[in-house]
Structures are given as structure tokens and as C-alpha cells.
Structure 1
């Protein structure tokens, strides 16, 4: 049982990509507070692909947002590539994210008036970095869009738009790529292609991917699954399959209830 202990999935021994220490996130005023995360600690190594699953309201999205610097924990510490996400101004936090973190969301968040190439190189411009069009083209070729550089998002399918979003996340060479239901808006074939790209980013290029999903088939593409319930880590599974993940999710509610009874809650 993991409880609040660190979860360490299989991965490259080349260092620690992400670490959370006792992260707690509470919303609402005193007397009417909601605990979204309740002392979560975990450690993920470089070159790992981790899926995060749990029932609605379990804290999945809050975990991702705190880990990625999109939300500030009420308590606890977050480290990305050994550097702590803490204090400082919003501008400093934004700069940190642009340097070390990539994002892939369910909605592709592409700018409709920019071409594929312009969308992919936008994070470099925002970060004040030199735009290397050659590298951007190489990344787009990796995701199968080398012949669509001048197309607008409206000229692409949903699966192609998500591949542009993945290329945009990878072009800055981030330490961690966070995915929030990245296949949720895609058909089965497109979803499979997107998950294969994320696997390639991990296994071939050594990226670290953390993906929130509700889909056991998507989770089965990861190296490991973290299960959340009531804002806490309640399970960890290596080498997941769609069947074992679906079974675990089915019994998760019963398991959480047993834990509450044992704890006298």
C-alpha cells in the first residue's frame, strides 16, 4: 500500500524528473473547505510514462495542475528536474514552466490563425528563445506532419491537431510533459496514434510523461499507473493492461471504503 509514501515507477535511472513532497491543496473558505489533495508524495524518474487515474473528484486534475505549476499547493513542495516550484512572482513561475514543462490538453488549444509551424514555434517565441525552424520541422516530421507545415488547424483532422499539440510540447525539450486527457476528444484510431507518439517520446527520446486519463486503454500505454481517491494515492501498478486497469478501477471504490473504515473515518 502506497498511502502517502513516494511512488517510483520503472524508468531510466538517469535522475528524478518530478517529485512531490506532502502536497496538499485546499479550496474554499474556512468552515467550507474542500481538500482536493491530501499530502501527496511521489517521485518519478527521467524517461518514465505514468498514467494517473481515479474516480471523479479524486484529485487527478489538481495533482497535474500543482505538479505542472498551473496551481499553487496550499502546503508541500514540488520539484521539476531538481528545481523547486516555489514562491516568486507569477512571471517567474511562467518562465519556469516555459523552460522545463510541456503541456498536451484534451482541447488542442491551437491558435486558429497560425499555421502548423507557427503554432509549434510559438512557445519558443514566448520564452524569448531563438526559433530553430529546422528543429521544429524535425519534430513535426516525427509526429507525421512534415508535409503540413503551412496548413491551418482548420485544415487538419482532430488527430492531426493533437499531433501538432504534441510537437508544440516537445519542441522546447521540456523536462516533463503533462497530458490532461490528451485522447479524450479523439476517435479510437487517432487516440492510438497519439499514445504511440507519447510512448516514442519516452522510449526513444527520453522524455518524461505524466498523463491524467479516465480510459483504461490509454492508461495501458504507460509504464505505470497511479491511482488516486479522496486526494490521496491509494494504489500503484506497473506494466498495466487495459483489463487490469479496468478491474482495479471497478474495485477502487470498495477499497477506499475499506480504508476509511480501517482508519475509523
Structure 2
């Protein structure tokens, strides 16, 4: 299945932010191989919020890892903002620092650094100019303007995840990848974080790709991509939690019907 996301009612642009061409990922040696991705092709416009869903072992985390340059595909090509992701590890690290932001389930903040220092760290690592005024502005936008000098351990889980979102936004990446960003949060904090992710897309024009197992989280996205057995098997525009949950229950049937 080929997925090409076009602009629709939520004001997307037509600029391509992410493209995967026949991306494959195979783990293991000959005779004991596991196909994690079986030739995934997709195109996502800039300024969109896409959720990726599927049962355990469907390949959704591998898709994120390959699209974000954290794993090398076995075959196929990945393009971010029109640039092919390739080269040695040093080149890939530089590419990620320039083009990609991350929001992880467990925040990945450095405990010895303040909130402001954590947010500006990717800029320092990339050798880019650090605009602390802008970083403080983004932190105010995520509701942490009075926490700049706090350490992560002084914050709640929801606040720590907001720091992680601010950290991703400050670098103005081409794509932000979020891996189960609400998985460690209570319901109220999760709802606030998802609203912030929506705001990042609507207000800042960010492109966001989120792996999640939660239909409620997926319903905050513009569209949902469904994976099963390493293949894209469906796409839903303007999802609702109920429709996503229903679709997930039938993914196996869809895979059989498509002849996979």
C-alpha cells in the first residue's frame, strides 16, 4: 500500500516533509530472518500530525526508528524535507540534529541540567546559536515560563514531557517524531500533552509523526496510518477514538483481504 497525504481541511501545506520509498527492515541472519518492515512507501506533507498504529510486532516502532535515522533500513530510501538520509554515523548524527526532533515516552531529560538548559541542549550539540529568549518563549507557550531554573526531578511527569516538547520545538526541526509520548502519563497530563502536540502543528507549522497504541491519543492527529505485519494496510483521515478502535480490531482481516 502506498500512502500519500494530501492537504485537507486542517490547513496543511503541500510541501513534503517525509517520504519513505519501499523501506524494508529485516532482523536476523539468513535462515532466521524476521521482516519488521516489508516495503513501506509513504509521503507526508509539512504541517501535518500523523499517528502510526498497529498491534504489537506490526513494525510501527521500527518505522519510526528508520524514518528518524535511528536505524538503517535494510532496503529503500528515506527523505526528510527533500534530503535523502544517508551517510556514515557521523553524517547521520549531524542530519538528525539539523532536521529531526524527538519526544520519547520517558522524557530523556538530563537531571543535572535546568529546564532551560535541557531545552537548549540540542542547539548546543549541533553548534547552533542558542537564543535563550526564544527558548524561554517556547517554554512559556507550553506553560512552564516559571520553571526555567528548575531541575527535571522537581517537575511532574506531565511537566517533564512539556519540557521535552519545548526542546523539540526550539530547534525548529523538519519533522518531530513522538514515540508513545503519553505512555507514562496519567489521563489528565496525557490530554494536556496531546493538546500541546496539536498546537505545535497548528501554531508553529511543525510536522509530527506519533507512534501510539492509544486510540484516544491517535484521535488528536489529522490522520492515522495502520500497520500490520510490517505493511501499511490502511489510513484514516480526521480520526475519532471510536473509529480508530474499531479499525484496529479488523487489521488482521484487512491484511488477508489485501493478499499480504
Match of 1:49 in 2: 49
> Does the CA contact (< 8 Å) of 1:9 and 1:50 recur in 2?
no
The answer on 1:192 being equivalent to 2:208 is: no
Q: State the 1:106 CA deviation.
A: 0.3
User: Could you tell me which of 2, 7, 12 is aligned with 2:4?
Assistant: 7
Aligned twin of 2:19: 19
Aligned residues: 257
CA deviations over 1:176-210 (Å, ceiling 9, x no partner): 00000000000011001101111011111110000
| In structure 1, distance between residues paired with 2:241 and 2:164 | 25
**Separation in structure 2 between the aligned mates of residue 16 and residue 6 of structure 1, nearest angstrom:** 13
CA distance in 1, matches of 2:224, 2:254: 16
Q: Where in structure 2 are the equivalents of 1:163-178 lying within 5 Å?
A: 163-178=162-177
Offset of residue 211 of structure 1: 0.1
- Match runs of 1:34-113 below 5 Å: 34-86=34-86, 88-113=87-112
Per-residue deviation at 1:9? 5.0
CA distance in 2, matches of 1:10, 1:67: 21
How far 1:258 moved relative to its partner? 3.7
CA contact (8 A) 2:97 2:122 kept: yes
Residues 36, 62 of structure 2: 8 Å contact kept: yes
Deviation of 1:63 after TM superposition, in Å, equals 0.2
In structure 1, stretches of 5+ residues that fail to align are: none
CA contact under 8 A between 1:48 and 1:207: conserved in structure 2? yes
TM, length-normalised to structure 1: 0.95
Q: Which residue of 1 aligns with 2:155?
A: 156
Q: In the TM superposition, what is the alpha-carbon distance from 1:14 to its structure 2 partner? A: 4.0
Whole-angstrom distance in 2 between the partners of 1:227 and 1:247: 12
| In structure 2, C-alpha distance between the alignment counterparts of 1:92 and 1:143, rounded to whole Å | 32
Where structure 2 has 5 or more consecutive residues not aligned to the other structure, the ranges are none
> Which residue in 1 is equivalent to 2:249?
250
Q: Report how far residue 13 of structure 1 moved.
A: 2.5
Distance in 2 between the 1:14 and 1:21 partners? 18
